[in-house]
Structure 1
Amino acid sequence: MRRITSVLVSLSALLAASAMTAPVAGAVPQADRPAAVPGGWEAVDGAELARITGETGALRAPATGERLSASAEEPELMALQSVRNGLFAATELNYGPPSTGVVRARSAAYGGAWEGFAFEWDETTETYAMRSLANNLYVAVEKNYTGSAKNVLRARSAGAGGWERFHVYYNEELGHWALQSTLNGLFVTMENGYTGSLQYVLRARSAEITGAWEEFVFYDIAS
């Protein structure tokens, strides 16, 4: 009897230990979602960006801007619309230094290259680089800028390194996207409260996705 009781106790202990270590049914893997990213947001790789934008027919440039052709081997061509103010991000080519090429959500509609960006996926780093179609330069996070311009996004780099790389996240329920700089780990925000020449500038400064300020709608601008 003592032997049977001992076996039952051991079996019960084993089952209890298994229950403690077993994953909760229906739990969503967290491997691609850091703590700063709320539920519902998932990291997107090169294939997924093309698939999501391709399957969502509504996400097409709602304007009469030029259509840009792209093959399957080329980067994804996108226009970015701020959820906060409803305006499209543009590369400010006419701004003088040191603000030449800053990215600002200021266009009422997609009108062409100024509002266009090529998203280039890098398998090694598993990150994206954004190349402005307005000047063919990569968007960098200006970490060394100070004051209200610190961490502003600016299309000014001939190549893509750590300053020019981003993680891209997508929320299927909202249909919204978010960008996280790999340089400082912060999310890109549209500065709706700014005034003057930097009003609506895009800046990598949010520790997490909090709402419309960090959210964008992506439009496929390729034909």
Structure 2
Amino acid sequence: MTSAVLTLSALLAASTLMAPVAAAAPQTDPKADRPAAVPSGWKIVKGPELDKFAARFGSRADDRRAPSAGGDASARDIEPAPWATAFQSVRNYKYVAPEFGYDAPNTAVLRARSSGIKGWERFAIDVDRNTESVAFRSLANNHYVSVEKNFTGASQNVLRARSTVVNSWERFDLYYDHEGEEHHYAIRSRLNGNFVSLETTSTGPLQYTLRASKAQLSGPSESFLLVPMEF
């Protein structure tokens, strides 16, 4: 009897040693939506936050997408949004407008230089829920804002309202400061991964130009207030 108990005890001990260890529950990285280039307090606009953003700033609740380059058969025309949006720089508190009077290559370049909101300062924000990205369409010429990555010199990575379709050059991520008193927004290009920044050191016609040139979100030059309004 004693030997049987000992044998059973030995078997139980051996089975315990051989039993696989349960895998630890996966941990959610609290910084997954906040890359190293984004300071604490800032979050990317996606998921439910993207739905809230779309409801406030004008895109329709259904999944309509901007027309894509290359004849994407799944892309549908955007239904006109009931709201327009103006972008106000937190650095100089001027509104963003395209410069249609500029010569190439800077025709329709975006600058934060207007004291008020008129026709040139109005944009539609088109939301693509499939990619959780946004595109900005100037209501002054009905063209999408592009990042000019292939430009060189003073015009490299400037933003211009010049495209009739949305491709990687026209797609952006939005971040917002959810701890601040005001909802400041930052814009990050999906083309080069840089944040859009206001050029305060430039002079001449490119002063206060918007350029996707900053690897880090560091201050008011990369922050904007969004002002919704009816068409």
Q: 1:93–1:134: 8 Å Cα contact kept in structure 2?
A: no
What amino acid does structure 1 have at the position aligned with 2:222? E
Question: Could you list the per-position Cα deviations for residues 25-77 of structure 1 after superposition, in whole angstroms to 9, with x for gaps in the alignment?
Answer: xx8452x22221112111114412135669xxxxxxxxxxxxxxxxxx64452
Compute the displacement of 1:86 (Å).
0.8
Question: Could you list the per-position Cα deviations for residues 2-36 of structure 1 after superposition, in whole angstroms to 9, with x for gaps in the alignment?
Answer: x9xx9xxx9xxx9xx97xx7869xx8452x22221
Separation in structure 1 between the aligned mates of residue 137 and residue 128 of structure 2, nearest angstrom: 13
Structure 2 residue 161 is matched with structure 1 residue 160: no
What amino acid does structure 1 have at the position aligned with 2:228? D
Structure 2 residue 181 is matched with structure 1 residue 172: no
Could you say what secondary structure the match of 1:221 adopts? strand
Could you say what secondary structure the match of 2:54 adopts? helix
Q: 2:189–2:212: 8 Å Cα contact kept in structure 1?
A: yes
Which residue is equivalent to 2:3? none
What amino acid does structure 2 have at the position aligned with 1:167? D
Q: 1:131–1:138: 8 Å Cα contact kept in structure 2?
A: yes
Which residue is equivalent to 2:152? 146
> How do 1:1-223 residues align onto structure 2 when only pairs under 5 Å count?
28=30, 30=32, 32-45=33-46, 46-51=50-55, 74-75=80-81, 77-110=84-117, 112-174=118-180, 175-222=183-230
Could you say what secondary structure the match of 1:145 adopts? coil
- The answer to which of 100-109 and 35-44 deviates more is 35-44
User: Gaps (5+ residues) in structure 2?
Assistant: 1-9, 59-78
Separation in structure 2 between the aligned mates of residue 218 and residue 44 of structure 1, nearest angstrom: 14
What amino acid does structure 1 have at the position aligned with 2:206? L
Could you say what secondary structure the match of 1:47 adopts? helix
Q: What TM-score comes out, normalization by structure 2 length? A: 0.74
Aligned pair in 2 of structure 1 residues 96, 124: CA closer, same or farther (>3 Å)? Answer: same
Instruction: Decide which structure has the larger Cα Rg and report it.
Output: 2
Separation in structure 2 between the aligned mates of residue 215 and residue 176 of structure 1, nearest angstrom: 6
Q: What percentage of aligned pairs have identical amino acids?
A: 47
Separation in structure 1 between the aligned mates of residue 95 and residue 214 of structure 2, nearest angstrom: 20
Aligned pair in 2 of structure 1 residues 166, 22: CA closer, same or farther (>3 Å)? Answer: closer
Separation in structure 2 between the aligned mates of residue 210 and residue 161 of structure 1, nearest angstrom: 27
Aligned pair in 2 of structure 1 residues 23, 122: CA closer, same or farther (>3 Å)? Answer: closer
Compute the displacement of 1:119 (Å).
0.7
Q: 2:119–2:139: 8 Å Cα contact kept in structure 1?
A: yes
Q: 2:111–2:208: 8 Å Cα contact kept in structure 1?
A: yes
Separation in structure 2 between the aligned mates of residue 205 and residue 140 of structure 1, nearest angstrom: 13
Could you say what secondary structure the match of 1:163 adopts? helix
How many aligned residue pairs are there? Answer: 196
Separation in structure 1 between the aligned mates of residue 210 and residue 87 of structure 2, nearest angstrom: 11
